[in-house]
Structure 1
Amino acid sequence: LPTAAKSKGSKQPGCFGYPLSIFFIVINEFCERFSYYGMRAVLVLYFKYFLRWDDNFSTAIYHTFVALCYLTPILGALIADSWLGKFKTIVSLSIVYTIGQAVMAVSSINDLTDHNRDGAPDSIATHIALSMTGLILIALGTGGIKPCVSAFGGDQFEDHQEKQRSRFFSLFYLAINAGSLISTVITPILRAQQCGIHSKQQCYPLAFGVPAALMAVSLIVFVIGSGMYKKVQPQGNIMVQVCKCIGVSSKRLITQTKMVLKVLFLYIPLPMFWALFDQQGSRWTLQATTMDGNFGAIQIQPDQMQTVNPILIVIMVPIMDAVIYPLIKKCKINFTPLRKITVGMFLAGLAFIAAALVQLQIDKTLPVFPASGQSQIKTINLGADNARVTFLPQNVNVTVEPLHGTDYRTFETSRLQHVVVAYGSNNTTLNAPITGGERYTLTVKNTVSGIDAQLLFDNVTSKPEEGKNLIRFINNLPWTVNVTMGGADFGELTTLSATNYSVFSGGRTDKIVVSTNVTNCTATSNSLGFGGAYTIIINECSGNVATLNYSQDIPPNTVHMAWQIPQYFILTCGEVVFSVTGLEFSYAQAPSNMKSVLQAGWLLTVAVGNIIVLIVAGASKLSQQWAEYVLFAALLFAVCIIFSIMAYFYTYIDPNEIEAQLDEEEKQVKKDPDLQEKEEKEAEAVSRM
């Protein structure tokens, strides 16, 4: 085997002591990460709200995709180290990547198929087929280039530039998180726009299309720097050569293989970190949909909370390099790479404990909906006097003040037969033909002709999606009216009747217009928060002003999204000491001809971590989300202890020094035939051990 990899390319120009070529690589990585994280930021919501998959299935497909993205680095590393070289591999798979992003954008165009009034496709087969094709191509592209780009950047440095190479990995990681930060701000905004030719929908084509464009830019920038790159040529099929170590092979390859296997063995516990970390894009994003995103002047979308991580990364990486690590060194604490990784794992576990505490607070605010054998009824008194309502035969009595309502009461469906409504000495009896698992509103009013009582079917048994509000109107005027709110027309509404619920964006106010035969009355709606359902009662229309009352059917989200910031902060601190260290450690401990292979091994831990999410979430059968968070934290704490023990017995190596010694030994072998025969026998004996 050759003693060193050959490289080609023009003499590299420098900038601030760094090869100029790395700036093209960093810009390429920024654009590619913008593309990947921008698409991924809205992916779980695309599954849930566009393809109409439930939370668990959306989470499962999301983590399957992420796992695939981190399985394909093995393929990319083999192609790069054994066949095409890193440069050609990056270019070839970037083309595949760009095509995949474009297919994903096309898959989300709602006008490809028929659609219903809500903008959801009636037939989603085409969307699913295109989406899965796009995601597979993206996984092949992003995974294939992932181990090559970081290792290719490391190749640009000379042996004496160890300090610059170390800082490059921090700069490289900053580029990753800068791209992630900007994309996770922008793509949720693009998603929230309305677009479509025949139907209005959330603009997923734009949210996926912009990342596709950035991937094309990434490819172009990388190719432009071609003439400056130091390109290490492949040295044959490394994996085939490794397998041949079972038979007779050179001492060099046996030693190199052992170096790689020692590190890969150390990586066995690491997937558990990624099992927690990557739930930012699934469980934590879904958690944010049940929270209040009102930050005063701006409204934060649930998927935009993922920006907290890259924001903190951009802040924390320089602080760690310039302040924390030097301070630890001055305190004479030997904060080795493996110790950093251990601390990172522990912090990730703490982050999930914080997430569990937030979830407990959210659960306290969630409404309780009826089970299959139960029904819930609330009462709204539209009259001018107190109303007394009795539910029979359970004999439950409720007194309701004028123009007020009660909370929902739960009844066993089989035991509720009649409702008696009384105003003073006058009363009326109403049959209760209710269905299990449903909610109803009982409206009552005393009129000149007697007591009017109606049981309305609410048809709402879950929180509104994405922090939106559900709003309906009840006409408490003695004549028919027409009601509009914002751009929504509720149509004609006869006296004492109710409209269906309509969906409105949360946190906004709208103009309400009540039209009668003789006049129009207007009012500005209250700011109704996020994730609630309301019944608005039209009580009066005089002097062009509408008098309204509000009845809360489902309470809005009251736990603020800002409460997610501590869990993001703790997890990000863990990521900084875990992931940045892992990238550098993987490169530093790898032999010269297996840099990409060991990078792929590091990335493989991410894939296995996402598979762990699927296994644990599927096998645990926990009904409470906070309990699932605690389970993941407990598993990581246990794995952290195991890893710390393994790390204690690991011996750091200098691959360059070892390979230099091997070079010297090979020179001696070539000079002495007898020594060469002895070396071959020793190599054969070692390979059979």
Structure 2
Amino acid sequence: MQVLNPFLVLVCIPLFDLVIYPLISKCGINFSSLRKMAVGMILACLAFAVAAVIEIKINGMAPPQPGSQEIYLQILNLADDEVKVTVLGNGNHSLLIESIKSFQKTTNYSKLHLKTKSQDFHFHLKYHNLSVYTEHSVEEKNWYSLIVHENGKSVSSMMVKDIENKTTNGMTAIRFINTLHTDVNISLGTDTPISVGEDYGVSPYRTVHRGEYPEVHCKTEDKDFSLNLGLLDFGASYLFVIINITNQGLQAWKTEDIPANKMSIAWQLPQYILVTVAEVMFSVTGLEFSYSQAPSSMKSVLQAAWLLTVAVGNIIVLVVAQFSGLVQWAEFILFSCLLLVVCLIFSIMGYYYVPVKSENIHQPADKQILHIQGEVINLETKNTKL
């Protein structure tokens, strides 16, 4: 996408000069340079507005972030039958009650409120006719998964911290839980193999590229096997549970902690097109107009002053980005509003501007020379060049 803007500029300059501007002239519209520049500024405003709308849409797809004294919790049941989980607060007050079937894929996290920055939660697990009470510590502003699994004829649980945000580079985050009674080494491409401990060991997160992973090589002490991880999509976070299914062998049960990016990168095209057209109509036209209006001795100075405005604009963007404290979409709205105000001021100034004709800049100027002959004063006009 970085190459798209200069490429569109190279395409739009001859397109506007040879096609669009002549068509507008044939329609009887006086599309002067100042009007072109004003329209270009309006299109730049629209580009920032479109960017803000898309940013809001992207933020709406992102997982919500826990605030102060809050956590998000999901419960995964790796036991062979349904488990009822109750999260108990002070005085045995129930904060959350969920009945989860065996290997049921949860669709969302539940928000729990803490009384302090860190707190111990008590959990009541009901499995068949058994009741098990466990306790786990959590800290605010984090995501957690409560893993319920069999422990002989009873059940046990463990609390693991989940990844908090999508990866910033579009990579996919994955990790594994090993239910086997032996360690497993998992090879993903040329990276260092992931080692997962026995008896419900949990691996750290590993980022991989998007793609299909139909045969991931795994190795234990006594045998090698392959796991089908399926499609690992952009920006998603997956948890794979290695299990041994009767008559099917070793399998990877897959659950999605953070959903993949659903918005296509093609949604950036309208912004690039608008800002490119604005650049052609404002910058290119502005350079041409300023050069044509400047006197011969000031053309280079005026061009330098025009380019200096780019530096001033970059300074404004830097100051706003560093010290405004606004979220990204609010910055786009701010820049759009500022540009709209400047556009209105520019339009008013342009309405009263009287352009200088090029022949008046270069044509000889009339200079009157004073001659004194006796008591008679004669005025003689001579042509000189500026």
Structure 1 unaligned segments of length 5 or more: list them. Answer: 1-304, 677-689
Shift of 1:672: 8.9
1:409 to 110, 128, 133: 110
Shift of 1:619: 5.3
675 and 417 in structure 1: CA distance in 2 versus 1, 3 angstrom threshold: farther
- Give distance in 2, aligned partners of 1:669 and 1:508: 88
Q: Which residue of 1 aligns with 2:383?
A: none
- Give distance in 2, aligned partners of 1:550 and 1:671: 102
Q: Name the one with the larger helix percent.
A: 1
- Pair 1:480-2:149 in alignment: no
Contact 1:385 1:401 (8 Å CA) reproduced? yes
Greater CA drift, 632-641 or 479-488: 479-488
Query: What CA deviation, in whole Å up to 9, does each residue of 1:25-61 have, x standing for no partner?
Result: xxxxxxxxxxxxxxxxxxxxxxxxxxxxxxxxxxxxx
514 and 600 in structure 1: CA distance in 2 versus 1, 3 angstrom threshold: same
364 and 330 in structure 1: CA distance in 2 versus 1, 3 angstrom threshold: same
Q: Which residue of 2 aligns with 1:569?
A: 273
Shift of 1:545: 6.5
- Pair 1:379-2:83 in alignment: no
- Give distance in 2, aligned partners of 1:473 and 1:566: 40
419 and 405 in structure 1: CA distance in 2 versus 1, 3 angstrom threshold: farther
Q: Percent of aligned positions with the same letter in both sequences?
A: 38
1:328 to 24, 42, 47: 24
Normalised by the length of structure 2, the TM-score is 0.87
Secondary structure of 1:637's counterpart equals helix
- Pair 1:616-2:320 in alignment: yes
- Pair 1:341-2:45 in alignment: no
492 and 509 in structure 1: CA distance in 2 versus 1, 3 angstrom threshold: closer
563 and 388 in structure 1: CA distance in 2 versus 1, 3 angstrom threshold: same
Q: Which residue of 1 aligns with 2:124?
A: 420
Contact 2:124 2:133 (8 Å CA) reproduced? yes
- Pair 1:398-2:95 in alignment: no
Shift of 1:593: 2.4
- Give distance in 2, aligned partners of 1:403 and 1:374: 26
Shift of 1:600: 1.1
Query: What CA deviation, in whole Å up to 9, does each residue of 1:191-228 have, x standing for no partner?
Result: xxxxxxxxxxxxxxxxxxxxxxxxxxxxxxxxxxxxxx
339 and 446 in structure 1: CA distance in 2 versus 1, 3 angstrom threshold: same
- Pair 1:548-2:248 in alignment: no
Contact 1:419 1:429 (8 Å CA) reproduced? yes
507 and 492 in structure 1: CA distance in 2 versus 1, 3 angstrom threshold: closer
- Give distance in 2, aligned partners of 1:582 and 1:649: 17
1:446 to 122, 143, 150: 150
Shift of 1:543: 9.1
Query: What CA deviation, in whole Å up to 9, does each residue of 1:437-487 have, x standing for no partner?
Result: 2222111113434212111133x3222121112111001224332222222
Instruction: Name the count of aligned residue pairs.
Output: 369
Shift of 1:524: 3.8
Shift of 1:435: 1.2
Secondary structure of 1:471's counterpart equals strand
609 and 510 in structure 1: CA distance in 2 versus 1, 3 angstrom threshold: farther
Contact 2:178 2:196 (8 Å CA) reproduced? no
Q: Which residue of 2 aligns with 1:522?
A: 226
Q: Which residue of 1 aligns with 2:384?
A: none
Contact 1:590 1:655 (8 Å CA) reproduced? no
Q: Which residue of 1 aligns with 2:66?
A: 370
Shift of 1:658: 2.9
319 and 536 in structure 1: CA distance in 2 versus 1, 3 angstrom threshold: same
Query: What CA deviation, in whole Å up to 9, does each residue of 1:268-299 have, x standing for no partner?
Result: xxxxxxxxxxxxxxxxxxxxxxxxxxxxxxxx
672 and 522 in structure 1: CA distance in 2 versus 1, 3 angstrom threshold: farther
Secondary structure of 2:283's counterpart equals helix
671 and 515 in structure 1: CA distance in 2 versus 1, 3 angstrom threshold: farther
Greater Rg by CA? 2
Q: Which residue of 2 aligns with 1:273?
A: none
Shift of 1:637: 1.5
- Give distance in 2, aligned partners of 1:378 and 1:346: 47
Q: Which residue of 2 aligns with 1:636?
A: 339
Secondary structure of 2:291's counterpart equals helix
Shift of 1:608: 1.5
2:293 to 589, 609, 613: 589
Give the counterpart letter for 1:583 in structure 2: L
- Give distance in 1, aligned partners of 2:197 and 2:370: 99
Give the counterpart letter for 1:323 in structure 2: V
Normalised by the length of structure 1, the TM-score is 0.50
Contact 2:120 2:135 (8 Å CA) reproduced? no
* Structure-to-structure mapping, 1:72-471, within 5 angstroms: 305-393=1-89, 394-395=93-94, 396-406=96-106, 407-414=108-115, 417-458=121-162, 460-471=163-174
Shift of 1:313: 2.0
Secondary structure of 2:363's counterpart equals helix
Q: Which residue of 2 aligns with 1:223?
A: none
Secondary structure of 2:202's counterpart equals coil
| Superposition RMSD in Å | 2.8
Structure 2 unaligned segments of length 5 or more: list them. Answer: 380-386
- Give distance in 1, aligned partners of 2:71 and 2:179: 26
Give the counterpart letter for 1:384 in structure 2: D
Shift of 1:507: 4.2
Give the counterpart letter for 1:643 in structure 2: F
592 and 461 in structure 1: CA distance in 2 versus 1, 3 angstrom threshold: same
Give the counterpart letter for 1:306 in structure 2: Q
Q: Name the one with the larger strand percent.
A: 2
- Give distance in 2, aligned partners of 1:391 and 1:620: 41
- Give distance in 2, aligned partners of 1:510 and 1:651: 71
Contact 1:486 1:511 (8 Å CA) reproduced? no
473 and 309 in structure 1: CA distance in 2 versus 1, 3 angstrom threshold: same
Contact 2:148 2:155 (8 Å CA) reproduced? yes
